């Protein structure tokens, strides 16, 4: 009978999973090597900024249904939710998963279940099973059971999606699937799809790689639109009026712990069959540098027309809208690059990240949204946070705005037969800040140089 659950790694996936499991009747212990993280969690601080985490964690700690520790204990089920970043050579760093597996081997007993939720290269779950066999002398699939069940949650909605999303359970053998299913059935309302471990591993990597390719196409559309003096957001919005076309919006790049990382796991394992994935990664990795180049051109144009040093405000530093996560964030990389230029006064505003964290990166360049708008000569839109969508248009009058995330775009709709709107493709007049783009009305300075 599966009663005690040990969650290995108490980050964005592990901690919410531990909370949900404890809420559904399991005795849950969370293991992490970070002493400060463990202490904070045991003192009712979830560390992560996920909505609902504080109010859901506190009663579980108070009642003893969940506790965090740096000392691994025996359990009936071990769930590995540690990071799997990539190294400088784009190879997967699986050392955290291997270390977690070796730790489990010290306390593993018969009938235990080991679940790998961390995103891993194809074949690693089987490798973990063999490592446990070597360390314990027990037989995987008979004496203990191993499966891969990749997480599929969206930051900001983790608690909802942990329960309601469908899950893929891939075991090293059928019995491992059956045993693992018993755990997830206790709290997952979504459909459970059963397969083998290597299929489950590839499914997760293919899901995120598909997104990466789609984003790369959108970024290529943006590059072509800029080169021909068109607004990429309008081009894509109108293309999407076709009933079978659904192009994503371009951005300042791809970040986060999944989409920017996972395709490289497939490239590493299947170098001859992954040319498209490699190209998409190259396109998306290059986007932040293109954004910096365009921004530098605009700064140069401002300097030619004005005296002094321009104040440049960066809106957003996280890898996507309305989260606090800056892992692999292209917006953060762009801001850090701009910070190195001595001919500008850089300001940054990021409403979703703690002030102390921001100040450790940008010192006194951190400002509130209103302070930044009041001081800025140039505003660079990188992340479309909801807080930025309510900016007073009058406050941005006479300020230059460069929008790489669609924050200011509004579609044009024909309101009568007489009001069909057309603009010459070579129109170069400046747009009004935070008002709808018109075809061909991107700032002239974007096209002063060839960037793509």
Q: Which residues are catalytic?
A: 204, 258
How far, CA to CA in Å, does 145 sit from each of 1, 112, 130, 134, 153?
14, 6, 11, 14, 25
Beta pairing partners, 381 = 315, 403
Residue with tokens 């010290």: 106
Length of the chain measured in residues: 452
Q: Which of 368, 373, 383 is nearest to 433 (CA)?
A: 373
Alpha carbons 378 and 399: distance in angstroms, whole number: 6
Q: Is the dihedral of CA 244, 249, 253, 257 positive or negative?
A: negative
Q: Which of 105, 87, 409, 118 is nearest to 235 (CA)?
A: 409
Contact 104, 132 (CB under 8 A): yes
Residue 302 CA from chain centroid, whole number: 34
Q: Which of 427, 434, 435, 445 is nearest to 306 (CA)?
A: 445
Q: Is the dihedral of CA 353, 358, 360, 361 positive or negative?
A: positive
How far, CA to CA in Å, does 77 sit from each of 46, 156, 195?
22, 27, 20
Burial degree of 350 (CB within 10 A; 0-12, 13-18, 19+):
buried
Q: Which of 96, 141, 147 is nearest to 117 (CA)?
A: 147
Contact 175, 194 (CB under 8 A): no
Alpha carbons 167 and 183: distance in angstroms, whole number: 12
DSSP character at residue 249: P
Alpha carbons 18 and 149: distance in angstroms, whole number: 15
Residue 399 CA from chain centroid, whole number: 31
**Integer Rg of the chain from CA:** 25
Q: What does 18-42 look like in DSSP terms, one character per residue?
A: HHHHHHTT-EEEEE-S-HHHHHHHH
């Amino acid at each position: 009978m599966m009663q005690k659950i040990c969650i290995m790694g108490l980050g964005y996936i592990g901690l919410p999973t531990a909370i949900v499991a404890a809420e559904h009747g399991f005795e849950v212990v969370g293991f992490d090597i970070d002493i400060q993280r463990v202490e904070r969690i045991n003192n009712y601080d979830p560390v992560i900024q996920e909505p609902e985490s504080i109010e859901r964690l506190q009663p579980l700690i108070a009642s003893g249904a969940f506790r965090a520790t740096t000392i691994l204990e025996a359990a009936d089920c071990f769930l590995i939710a540690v990071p799997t970043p990539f190294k400088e050579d784009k190879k997967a760093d699986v050392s955290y998963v291997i270390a977690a597996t070796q730790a489990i081997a010290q306390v593993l007993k018969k009938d235990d279940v080991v679940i790998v939720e961390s995103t891993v290269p194809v074949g690693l779950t089987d490798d973990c099973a063999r490592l446990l066999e070597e360390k314990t002398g027990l037989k995987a699939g008979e004496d203990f059971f191993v499966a891969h069940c990749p997480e599929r949650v969206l930051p900001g909605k983790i608690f909802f999606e942990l329960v309601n999303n469908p899950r893929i359970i891939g075991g090293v053998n059928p019995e491992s699937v059956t045993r693992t299913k018993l755990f997830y059935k206790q709290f997952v309302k979504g459909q459970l799809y059963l397969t083998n471990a290597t299929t489950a591993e590839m499914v997760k990597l293919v899901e995120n790689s598909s997104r990466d390719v789609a984003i790369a196409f959108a970024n290529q559309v943006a590059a072509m639109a800029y080169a021909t003096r068109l607004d990429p957001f309008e081009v894509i919005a109108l293309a999407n009026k076709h009933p079978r076309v659904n192009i994503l919006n371009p951005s300042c790049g791809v970040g986060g712990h999944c989409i920017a990382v996972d395709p490289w796991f497939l490239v590493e394992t299947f170098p001859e069959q992954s040319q498209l994935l490699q190209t998409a990664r190259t396109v998306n990795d290059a986007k932040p540098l293109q954004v910096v180049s365009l921004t530098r051109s605009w700064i140069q144009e401002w300097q030619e027309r004005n005296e002094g040093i321009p104040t440049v405000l960066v809106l957003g530093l996280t890898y996507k809208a309305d989260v606090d996560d800056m892992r692999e964030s292209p917006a953060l990389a762009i801001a850090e690059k701009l910070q190195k230029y001595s001919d500008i006064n850089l300001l940054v505003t990021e409403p979703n990240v703690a002030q102390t964290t921001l100040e450790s990166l940008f010192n006194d360049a951190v400002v509130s949204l209103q302070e930044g708008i009041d001081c800025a000569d140039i505003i660079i839109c990188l992340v479309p946070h909801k807080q930025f969508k309510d900016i007073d248009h009058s406050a941005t009058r006479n300020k230059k705005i460069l929008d790489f995330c669609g924050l200011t775009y509004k579609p044009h709709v024909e309101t009568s037969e007489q009001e069909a709107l057309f603009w010459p493709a070579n129109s170069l007049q400046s747009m009004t800040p935070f008002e709808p783009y018109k075809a061909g009305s991107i700032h002239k300075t974007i096209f002063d140089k060839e960037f793509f």
